[in-house]
Chain A
Amino acid sequence: MSVDHGTTPLIEVEHLKIFFPIKEGILVEREVARVHAVNDVTLSIGEGETLGLVGESGCGKTTMSRAIMRLIDATDGRIRFRGNDVTSAGRRELEPLRRELQMVFQDPFASLNPRKRVGQIIGMPLRLHGTERGDVEEKVRELLARVGLQPEHVNRYPHEFSGGQRQRIGVARALALEPRLIVLDEPVSALDVSVQAQIINLLDDLQDDFRLTYLFVAHDLSVVRHVSDRIAVMYLGKLMEVSRAEELYTKPIHPYTSALLSAIPIPDPEENRRRERLAPREGGMPRSGIPLLGGEPPNPISPPPGCVFHPRCPRASQICRAVEPPLVGYPNGHLAACHHPMNVSPEEIKAAEKHNSSPRSSGDELPSVLGANGSCSAG
């Protein structure tokens, strides 16, 4: 149990590390380097909760969600499902677990077998897990109706549907076995804006009806806001910040979160003009004190020492280059791994404590009032 959110955790991830070896050699392959995809992450998801997992491409969010699904083996660390350690469970042990963990994929064009009928696609998990042949079709029709498709579509092929409809088929397939947890890997990124909202609203309704737990993976902060109870921000295999959803938007503590927020365009010309008058355009639009981020995420083969975000961080100082910041607990279960946090008062910094979900490699240095300029320095 890492974060206090008042419910029993369904999934607990402890100090999870997933490294992919890079091998070279002609006769004998030797490991020459490792991609540090997930680098010591501790998280938990409560029953019925939606955790948003956000980060730029290559931050390890998909790798982590696949490890939770047990599709990728962990290099180190523990994954617990309802308190049972499933990190190294074998095929046979995993079978009952597979019922409870389901996934909806990003690309609705690639994740449905083009040569199977919708009925076969949704019916397959049912059959595999022992539903009587005669009952399958009725169950499939029910599921289709539940996700907003016509039950008569059971005999159609995926190509006869639009992107949004296909995503509904993917959701129906994930629902078939009445799972506890559904991992949603960017489920709306490939869809048009007007259809995105339909799918998000559907997921919202299904969660209420079936008391589902969601892990919602996304690459930016705009979509997850509507579905998440809590949001975790990842960067280069590490957790930067974990917070209740609303607080993350009003009070981002980590400069990276703040930068992600200010990179989202504001659909309001007057607001943009006003902001430009305040701060003539240089390095972008300061919304919460963080200007436009320069550069790109570094290579996860050799992550930078200290805080992995320091090469791009406008607040970075000497300590950031040397010491990896621990995850520090602030009020409301808000965690952030930063030596120079934003939007926090000196009192909050004084009361802050190193959280037990911090990476093992992190230092014990807590953010100091001096280094942080008190509360948010620019507004």
Chain B
Amino acid sequence: MTAADPAGPVATDDPLLTVDELRVSFATEEGVVQAVDGVSFNLGAGEVLAVVGESGCGKSVTAMSLMGLTRSPNARFEGTAHYKGTELIEASEDQLRRVRGAEIAMIFQDPMTSLNPVQRIGDQIIEQIQEHESLPDRQARERTAELLERVGIPRARERIDNYPFEFSGGMRQRVMIALALSCNPSVLIADEPTTALDVTIQAQILQGIRELREQTGAAVIMVTHDLGVVADIADRIAVMYAGRIVEEGTLDQIFYDPQHPYTWGLLGSITRVDRPRRERLPAIAGLPPSLADRPHGCHFRPRCPLEFAECMKVPPLESRVAGQSQHRDRCWLSVGEKRARREVAPGEIGLAAKNVTAA
């Protein structure tokens, strides 16, 4: 499971990115924090994969580890991630530098802190272009202006010389997207790209990501805590809980035939403004566990109203619905039982209440 030959050839019809049994842990004073625990997924060219989960479920660590951004003396990695013949987890800094930005680019959550505040935004983008391509200054500047126009920054040619503080949050996020697209990456990792933004701006940014994907054909990994945000953009969804993928499937499988009780809970807690209001908001009882001290067996067990003896064993991530090999989940219940118990109201999926100590 450790490093395969980093330069090993990959057949062309293989997925663009293959993550296999990725494990990331950090040694801390409170003990070993197992942030990512055996995560595997594929990403095909041009595909949008949403990784969904609450804070502390390991979704960001998964995304950042692909770029080598979680490396530190107290971090331990296992498993592999192959991108076009390069193994990313064990890759050298030199190899990573060639991939970062040029092949796999990242958009971070907080547009306020992820740009250099003392460098003009144009220069930040030009720097990245010239790092990967030997392009004369003037052409790099021209491409930067075009990028800023494409992501919808008004008067891009004037604003290219502005500093980040002269932009609003939404505009800064656009600059981040322009920066990420500057070298035509094949994979774009967006880590909560709209969480810090107002709803109207969020809608604009999501629309922008959708258009860019259509234009450039880049595959997107969208990390988010909000299932609602990805309903309009994702092809496939992986739901993470306490370091593991608990369910994985196509957009429709996750929304219309969710197998894992945690997914039901997430779906049930989305407020819908286009439906009549419910008397009480459905909540998932309890709290996500600490990654330093996760419950035995199924990690969701302490919060799950359907817990039974089997749950003390870790359920494998496997296909349980007949004929749906792409749809995999980690829950011991039978498919029939799940379908019967996830319906909290006619046509409405959710997780029935469980009495445990409140948050």
A interface vs B, CB < 8 Å?
Answer: 56-57, 148-150, 162-165, 168, 192-202, 204, 219-223, 225-226, 245-246, 249, 259-272, 281, 284-285, 287, 292-294, 296
Contacts and interface: CB of A to CB of B under 8 A. Distances in A.
Contacts of A272: 231-232
A193 B255 contact: no
B198 A219 contact: yes
27 contacts: A56-B198, A56-B200, A148-B357, A149-B358, A192-B225, A193-B225, A193-B266, A193-B270, A194-B265, A195-B359, A196-B283, A198-B358, A198-B359, A221-B273, A226-B278, A266-B228, A267-B255, A267-B270, A267-B272, A268-B231, A268-B255, A269-B252, A269-B255, A269-B256, A284-B207, A294-B204, A296-B171
Contacts of B278: 226
B282 interface: yes
A269 B251 contact: yes
B224 to A, nearest CB: 10
A287 B274 contact: yes
Given A261-B273, A264-B273, A194 B202 contact: no
Given A226-B278, A269-B231, A194 B284 contact: yes
A296 B170 contact: yes
B3 interface: no
A271 B231 CA distance: 10
Given A196-B269, A204-B280, A292 B207 contact: yes
Contact of B201 (A201, A204, A296): A296
Q: Tell me the interface secondary structure of chain B in the complex.
A: loop
A192 B265 CA distance: 12
A194 B269 contact: yes
Contact of B287 (A195, A204, A222, A266): A195
Which 7 A-B residue pairings sit nearest by Cβ, starting from the closest?
A197-B283, A148-B358, A164-B359, A194-B284, A197-B281, A267-B228, A263-B203
B172 to A, nearest CB: 11
Nearest to A261: B273
Interface string B300-343: 00000000000000000000000000000000000000000000
A284 B343 CA distance: 31
Nearest to B202: A263
B229 interface: yes
Contacts of A202: 358
Interface in B150-170: 168-170
Contact of A260 (B200, B204, B270, B277): B200
A377 to B, nearest CB: 19
A272 B233 CA distance: 10
Given A194-B284, A195-B359, A266-B272, A56 B199 contact: yes
A268 B348 CA distance: 12
Nearest to A189: B195
A201 B283 CA distance: 8
B226 interface: yes
B189 interface: no
B250 to A, nearest CB: 9
A267 B227 contact: yes
B168 A296 contact: yes
